[in-house]
Structure 1
Amino acid sequence: MLSRSRHLIAVISGLAVFFAATLVALSATAARADDDCDPPAVLDMQPDGTFSCTIPGGTGNPGSETPGGEGPGAPQPSCDLAAAPAPTGQVAESIIDGPYCVGERFCVTTSVFVPMANPPGEPPNEDSEGRLRFCSSGLEYQWESAWWTGEEEPPTLLERARTAIGQIDLATPTLRTSPSGRTLVRVDTWFWATGASTSESGSAFDLVATATFASMSVDPGDGSGAFSCPLTTTSDAAASDCLHRYRRASLGGGATVDGRPAYRASVRLVYDLSFTVGGTPVVVPGAPTTLEAPVATAAIRVDEVQSIVTGVS
C-alpha cells in the first residue's frame, strides 16, 4: 500500500511540474508576441494558441499590410468618388491624399498623428515618413494600414485610370424643346441640350483621363426610337441639326403638362475616354472606353389640331 501511495504522489508531482512548465512557456510566448505589437495594435490570441497583432477598427497585422493595393484577384476600384464622405477630426487635419478608390471603399492617406503610432519596424531610409490609410464604406473613416514612404507602391495603371474617371464631372444637361412643353402633330419640334460639355478630365497621380464628346441621341418618347444629333446646345443649331415630327398626339404618354398626357423625351450624351501619363497617350487594358453624362428628360405634350370648315357659300 505504501509503495502504491508513493507511486501516486510521484505521478501527481510529475503532472504539476509539466503544467507549470507549460504555463511558463505560454507566458513567455505571450510576452514575446506582445513585444512585437506596436501601438495602437493589441495582442490577440488565435484558436490554435498562436498570437497576432490587430488594431481595433483595422484588419490584420499592421506589418503585413500592402500599402499599394489589395493584392492579386482583389476587386478593382469601382466607388463613386462624388459620394465619398468628408473626413473629419485628426484624419481631416492630417490628410495628404484622397479620397480615392480602393475596391468599393473611399480611402484617404494621412501622416502619422497622435495617438496613432509609426509603422512597425525601422524606416527603410532616412527620408522615409510614416503614412496611414483610413477607409470608409460610406460612413466614418476607419484605420486600415500603415507603411513607410520608402516602401509605398503606387496604384496600378488600371487603379489610377478608374480613380481619374471617378473625378470627371459630366454635369447633367438640360433638355430644351421648341415649341416648349407643347407642340402639334406634324410640326417640327427642335431639341437641344444646354449645360453640356465638349470635354472634361480627371487625374490620379500622374495619369489623366479625358472624356471627349462622341455622340448625342434624343428619344422623343413616342415609341419611334432615338435619333442621333451632333452636340446641339442652342435653338438655332437645333432648327437644322436636331428635330423631330410627332405623328400622333400624346394621349397615352407617361408624363403630364398642364394636367394633360405628355411624352417624356430624353437626351443621352456619350463621351470617348482617353488616357495620358506625363502627357504621353497610353492604353489602359481593362479600363472603360466611354463615359455617359446623366440622362436628361423633358415632358412635351403633343396635340392634334383638325380644321373644321363651316359656313361655306
Structure 2
Amino acid sequence: MSQVLLAVAVLLAGLFGAVASSQAAEPASDPCWVSLEVRPGEFEYVNICPDPDEEDGGSNGGGGGGPRCDLTEEPYNEFCLGIKACQADIPSPLDESKWPPEETMPGPDYIFTFVRCRVPGQEELYERWRWIKPYDGALPELGWQALGRLQTPAFTMSFEPAGMTYVGADTRFLIDGIGDGEIIGSVAGPLQATGTLSHVEIDPADGSPTIECRPDLRTNACEHVYLLMSHEQTSLDIDGRPGFPAQARLVYDVTFTMSGAEVDLPGVPETLESPWNGTVIPVGEIQALVQNR
C-alpha cells in the first residue's frame, strides 16, 4: 500500500511540476510576449498584443458605436484605448534599438512606449509597455524628436584668391560638401522631417555683419571686401600667417510629413542651423608705388 501511495505522490509531483513548468514557459512561447530591456540591465516579458476591449489603436474618443472612454480626468485625458482613458510617455523613454521586432508593429505610424490608463469601474490602473498610434496632441513632441534626427552635412569652407587675400579686393567664399541641399531624417512615429537648404550665413570675422549667401556656394561664390589687414589677429592659418577666423553655417527650411502629407506643428522650429565651420583668412595689403612725371 505504501508503495502505491508513493507512486501516486511521485506521479502528482511530476504532473504539477509539468504544469508549473508550462506556465513559467508560457510567456516565452506566446507570440504576444517578448523579452525587452525596459531599463538598463533589467529585462521583462512584455505583452505587445492589444486587449480585447480595444476597438482601435488610440483615438481621441474611442471607436465604433460602443461605450466611449471619459477623457475628463487628468492626466488620463490624452487618448482612448477602447473604454480606457490613457496617458503615454511621448517621446518613448525606450531607445528604438530596444523596441520589439518591427514585424510586431501594428502599422508604420506606431511607437512603442509606456502607457497608463484609467479603467472604468476599477481602482487599479492599467500600466503597460505597448505599441500605440500617437494621438493628435502628441505630434508636436514627436516633431521635436523628428527634428533631432536631421543631420546637417560636414562641409568645408574655402576662399579665393587662395592662400591670401588683400585689402580692398573681392574675397570669394566657397562651400563644399553640402550635397544636393536636402537632408531627410529617420521617422519618429508617424512623422518625418525634411530640411531644404535655404541659405548660407558667413561671418567674415572682421567686425562686419554676417552675410546671407545663396544656397549653392560650390559654384556661386559669395563675396566680401576686407578693409583691414589681419596682421594683428591671433588666429593663424596652416602656414602660420595671422588671419581673420571666418566661418559659415548652413540654414535649412524644415517641413514635417505624416503618411506623405505635410503637417503643421505649432511650437516646433521650422528652420535648422548647422554648427559653424570655417577657415582662417590672411589679409594683406598691396603696396603701390606712385611716381611723379
Q: TM-score range by the shorter chain?
A: 0.5 to 0.7
- State the match for 2:177 in structure 1: 195
Aligned match of 2:257 in 276, 286, 291? 276
Give the superposition deviation at 1:101.
5.7
For 1:267 and 1:213, locate their aligned partners in 2 and report how far apart those are by CA, in whole Å. 13
What is the TM-score when the length of structure 1 is the normalising length?
Answer: 0.52
Q: Is this contact kept in 2: 1:173–1:295, CA < 8 A?
A: no
What is the TM-score when the length of structure 2 is the normalising length?
Answer: 0.55
Q: Is this contact kept in 2: 1:109–1:132, CA < 8 A?
A: no
Say whether 1:175 aligns with 2:157.
yes
- State the match for 1:91 in structure 2: none
Give the superposition deviation at 1:58.
5.5
- State the match for 1:212 in structure 2: 196
Q: Which residues of structure 1 form unaligned runs of 5+?
A: 1-37, 40-53, 73-99, 113-130, 135-144
Q: Which residues of structure 2 form unaligned runs of 5+?
A: 1-23, 26-37, 48-57, 59-73, 76-89, 102-110, 115-126
For 2:144 and 2:113, locate their aligned partners in 1 and report how far apart those are by CA, in whole Å. 19
- State the match for 1:249 in structure 2: 229
Higher Rg of the two aligned structures: 1
- State the match for 1:25 in structure 2: none
For 2:276 and 2:288, locate their aligned partners in 1 and report how far apart those are by CA, in whole Å. 38
Alignment size in residue pairs: 191
Distance 1:56 1:184, change over 3 A: closer
For 1:294 and 1:172, locate their aligned partners in 2 and report how far apart those are by CA, in whole Å. 9
Return the structure number with greater helix share: 1
Further displaced range: 181-190 or 200-209: 200-209
Please state whether the residue corresponding to 1:164 is helix, strand or coil. helix
RMSD in angstroms over aligned alpha carbons?
A: 3.7
- State the match for 1:152 in structure 2: 131
Give the superposition deviation at 1:56.
8.9
Distance 1:55 1:183, change over 3 A: closer
Q: Is this contact kept in 1: 2:92–2:113, CA < 8 A?
A: no
Give the superposition deviation at 1:288.
1.6
Q: Is this contact kept in 2: 1:250–1:303, CA < 8 A?
A: yes
Q: Is this contact kept in 2: 1:217–1:228, CA < 8 A?
A: yes
For 1:58 and 1:285, locate their aligned partners in 2 and report how far apart those are by CA, in whole Å. 37
- State the identity %: 33
Distance 1:132 1:303, change over 3 A: closer
Give the superposition deviation at 1:268.
1.9
